[in-house]
Amino acid sequence: MKPGLDLSSIVVLTGAGISAESGISTFRDAGGLWEGHRIEEVATVEAFERDPMLVWKFYSRRRINAARAAPNLAHEALVEFAAENPGVMSLITQNVDGLHQRADGREVLAPVCMHGSLHQSRCTHCGSTYFDDFSYFDDEGNYAPGQTNLCDLSQRSSPEYLHHYKLEYAKFLPLSPCCRRPLRPHIVWFGETPLHLPRIDTLLKKAKIFLSIGTSGVVYPAAGFIQVAKAMGARTVCINKEEIPQAADIDEFIQGSATLKVREFLSSLGSRNG
Ligand SMILES: NC(=O)c1ccc[n+]([C@@H]2O[C@H](COP(=O)([O-])OP(=O)(O)OC[C@H]3O[C@@H](n4cnc5c(N)ncnc54)[C@H](O)[C@@H]3O)[C@@H](O)[C@H]2O)c1
Ligand SMILES: [Zn+2]
Cβ atoms 114, 196 nearer than 8 A: yes
Average pLDDT over residues 47-54: 96
Instruction: Tell me the per-residue pLDDT of 217-242, one tens digit each, with 9 for 90 and over.
Output: 888 899 999 999 999 999 999 999 99
Does 87 lie in the same domain as 223? Answer: yes
pLDDT confidence of 36, banded at 50, 70, 90?
confident
Q: What does the alpha-carbon distance between residue 162 and residue 150 come to, in Å, rounded to a whole number?
A: 13
Please count the structural domains in the chain: 2
Does 222 lie in the same domain as 205? Answer: yes
Q: Residue 98's domain is classified under what CATH number?
A: 3.40.50.1220
Does 233 lie in the same domain as 199? Answer: yes
Residue-number span of the structural domain to which 204 is assigned: 1-24+71-114+194-274
User: Model's pTM, two decimal places?
Assistant: 0.95
What confidence score (pLDDT) does residue 3 get?
Answer: 52
Does 133 lie in the same domain as 87? Answer: no
Q: Residue 170's domain is classified under what CATH number?
A: 3.30.1600.10
User: Of the given ranges (4-8, 44-48, 76-80), which has the lowest mean pLDDT?
Assistant: 4-8
Which residue ranges have their beta carbon within 6 Å of ligand 1? 15-17, 19-21, 24, 26-28, 94-97, 115, 214-216, 219, 240-242, 257-258
Does 159 lie in the same domain as 110? Answer: no
pLDDT confidence of 271, banded at 50, 70, 90?
low
Does 98 lie in the same domain as 5? Answer: yes
Does 271 lie in the same domain as 208? Answer: yes
Average pLDDT over residues 252-257: 98
Q: What does the alpha-carbon distance between residue 214 and residue 257 come to, in Å, rounded to a whole number?
A: 8
Q: Pick the residue with more confidence: 100 or 6?
A: 100
Average pLDDT over residues 20-37: 80
Q: What does the alpha-carbon distance between residue 93 and residue 125 come to, in Å, rounded to a whole number?
A: 26
Q: What does the alpha-carbon distance between residue 215 and residue 15 come to, in Å, rounded to a whole number?
A: 4
Cβ atoms 217, 245 nearer than 8 A: yes
Boundary residue ending a domain (187, 205, 225): 187
Instruction: Tell me the per-residue pLDDT of 139-178, one tens digit each, with 9 for 90 and over.
Output: 888 999 999 999 999 999 999 999 999 999 999 999 999 9
Q: What is the mean pLDDT of the chain?
A: 93
What confidence score (pLDDT) does residue 219 get?
Answer: 85
Average pLDDT over residues 92-121: 97
The CA 216 to ligand 1 mean position distance, Å, reads: 6
The CA 192 to ligand 1 mean position distance, Å, reads: 19
Q: Is 115 among the residues known to form the active site? A: yes
